[in-house]
Chain A
Amino acid sequence: MVKFIATTSLFKYTWEQVAIGLWQRYPNPNSKHVLTEDVLSRSIEGSRIISLRMLTKTNKIPKWGERIVGRDKNVLIVEESVVDANEKTVTTYTRNIGLQKFMSIEEKCVYRVSSENPSWTTCERTAWVSSSFYGVGRGLEAFGAKRFHSNAHKATQGFDYVLTSLFKADHLKDHPLLVSSKIKDTARKAAEMAKSKAAPLLPRTSPS
């Protein structure tokens, strides 16, 4: 069994800006799990650049999976890409190396000029999540597919943050990523304050 996922993301930046930003997308506030990034090969063929990049990431595994594969294993991610300056496309194909039996995720993204607005760019993302782990494979696929959705959203938001910092730096302080973390921070502080105020009342309400 393989779970297939297809989504489209929109970046309100030109195709050229997105292509420039793709090489600089790490680090960003949503990429704390990405530890290293390297280019392992690169060739230029006419108007195309073909690259191979390798990332190492920390990989959080669900509690019940830890017993099977151990904890805190770092995972290798390989990203092949083709930039075609004539066609104005960037195609990336990403897969994990190691732990594939536990879970294998392959993802293809095609970045092209938006049909809606020529100064925007869309990323058509297709992904395949599979696990061949005996007995728990299906549960893992469901877990993997669910996590893929939230990770894809975080990755898109992180990349958008990088594009903003490169091309609209004066808008960076209003970026949704910062705004949402500020809201979370404010909520956390409010909750802590409420807790500390409530604490002295607790002994009085407990039965004597």
Chain B
Amino acid sequence: MDSVGKECQDLKRKYDECFNKWFAEKFLKGVTEDPCTKLFNVYQECVKKAIKEKNLNLDAIEEQVLGTSKEKQPPSK
């Protein structure tokens, strides 16, 4: 899948490959040490720059909702 930053495509693909393999073969079998952090950091640098250049609202994007009181609740009966 494409990245929002065209120039980040290759970095994203490399990171995704590393993560998907590790997730399936290691993490789900109890190994929690992540070998992909270096790839993740260079990809992040690229994608955060692309988000800024496109004037997307990073604060709104990074706002945490899941697990906080901002999560919507089912209506009480």
Contacts and interface: CB of A to CB of B under 8 A. Distances in A.
Interface of A: 2, 4, 6, 16, 19-20, 23-24, 26-27, 34-42, 44, 46-47, 49, 52, 54, 56, 76, 78, 80-82, 85, 91, 93, 95, 97-98, 106, 108, 126, 128
Interface of A: prevailing SS: strand
Interface string B20-55: 100110011010101000001001100110000000
A74 B51 CA distance: 14
A38 B12 contact: yes
A6 B16 CA distance: 32
B62 A82 contact: no
Contacts of A81: 66
A108 B71 contact: yes
B32 A93 contact: no
Contacts of A37: 1-3
Interface in B55-77: 56-57, 60-62, 64-67, 71-72, 74-75
Contacts of A2: 72
B14 to A, nearest CB: 13
Nearest to A41: B62
Contacts of A97: 57, 60-61
Contacts of B64: 80
B72 A106 contact: yes
